[in-house]
Chain A
Amino acid sequence: MSVLSKLEETFLCLKAGRVTLPYPAQAQPLPENFRGRPIFDAAKCVGCAGCANNCPAREILVFDVCQEVRILQYLGRRCTYCGRCADVCPEKAITMSLEFENATNKIGDLGQKLELFMSTCQRCGRCFKGAAVLDELKMKGYRSDDLQSERWIYRSQAFLESEPVVDDIKIELD
């Protein structure tokens, strides 16, 4: 009985043939609707910061250096490639590419940084004004995420206070 079952197993294994994919030698076809890392097109971007407001991982930071220059920084560390930024972009400046071989030894390699020229409103003197009333409450004044420590800050007012709104937790390890 056991010999028969071994024979049957051998037969099944031989029947399957060779299933190993030749991956490192040749590229595999990607599935349909595959989303890789997002690519930001600086020529099309108008700097509305809709991607920064819609990113669930808060990976896109926006910082207004002065009236004319806005920095949009994509960090890419905890990006889940959900494609919400590409959905919300009105100018289609963000495309979800097919790149998935993104392994690096430096985490900074994944980032993209755009320096955008902003023309200001003659009446209010700001770069961008939210459409709804709630948006105005959130976006009063400049957007000023903390680019130095790569931290997302919800209100620009928080910069004037010593405690940041969004901060990583610190605990002591012995």
Chain B
Amino acid sequence: MLKNLCQKMFGRSLWVYHANSGGCNGCDIEVLNVLTPYYDVERFGIKLVGSPRHADVMLCQGPAMRSTALALKRAYEAMPAPKLVFAIGSCACGGGIWFDSYSVLGPVEKILPVNYYIPGCPPRPEAIIYGVAVALGLVDKKTAPVEFKQIEFPIPQYHPRDLRRDHDMVVYEKLEKV
């Protein structure tokens, strides 16, 4: 449904606004690299604008920080109604490797509703173009969750209340019932 909506709403061209809320500037450089003649995205109608009031898409880079979270939320609210948010880089997707620092709140999805995630540290310019193409419905996404099992084994439902401290060890009480 979102795909159809995107094709309908953003059929002609996307105007992007890029907001860095405390990243290391690596993703900024990759986004600017997308706009250079080498990966000329203006041929697809994608244009960088300076104000969130002109933008359709917000490119979020960097984690939501304690100092910039409010400004990021205000910039999102300033955008006109059919709007998309792209989280670019591992900081915006998951909080970055300093996710447990005192100044980092976590991924930007804690502040804004994120529509598309482009992981990478930083993502390649091709990956960013691919993410935009996925959002526009031009290509299908390649990733899918993977689950492997070495043996078929009934896994019991786990709850912390079944754990008991026995001297130095932690004992799982329901083990006999499995």
Contact = CB atoms under 8 A, between A and B. Distances in A.
Interface residues of A: mostly helix, strand, loop or mixed? loop
B60 interface: no
Given A109-B144, A169-B105, A141 B170 contact: yes
A168 B69 CA distance: 15
Is the interface on chain A under 10, 10 to 19, 20 to 34, or 35 or more residues? 35 or more
B169 interface: yes
Interface of B: 2, 37-40, 43, 66, 69-70, 73, 90-91, 93-97, 99-100, 102, 104-107, 109, 111, 115-121, 123-124, 126-127, 129-131, 133-135, 138, 141-151, 153, 155-156, 158, 160, 163, 165, 168-170, 172, 175, 178
A78 B99 contact: yes
A56 interface: yes
Nearest to A105: B116
Interface in A124-172: 140-142, 144, 156-157, 159-160, 166, 168-169, 171
Given A65-B156, A108-B145, A113-B145, 20 more contacts: A20-B39, A20-B40, A21-B39, A23-B39, A28-B126, A77-B93, A79-B121, A80-B121, A101-B142, A103-B116, A104-B116, A112-B148, A115-B155, A141-B168, A144-B170, A157-B165, A166-B100, A168-B100, A169-B104, A169-B106
B175 A110 contact: no
Interface residues of B: mostly helix, strand, loop or mixed? mixed
A85 B124 CA distance: 21
A23 B111 contact: no
Interface of A: 19-21, 23-24, 28, 37, 40, 42-43, 56-59, 65-69, 75-81, 99-117, 140-142, 144, 156-157, 159-160, 166, 168-169, 171, 173-174
Given A103-B141, A160-B165, A19 B134 contact: no
Contact of B120 (A59, A102, A169, A171): A102
A87 to B, nearest CB: 16
Nearest to B160: A159
Contact of A56 (B97, B118, B126, B130): B97
Nearest to A55: B97
A141 B172 CA distance: 11
A116 B151 CA distance: 8
A75 B117 CA distance: 14
Contacts of A171: 66, 69, 105
A173 B68 CA distance: 11
A113 B131 CA distance: 24
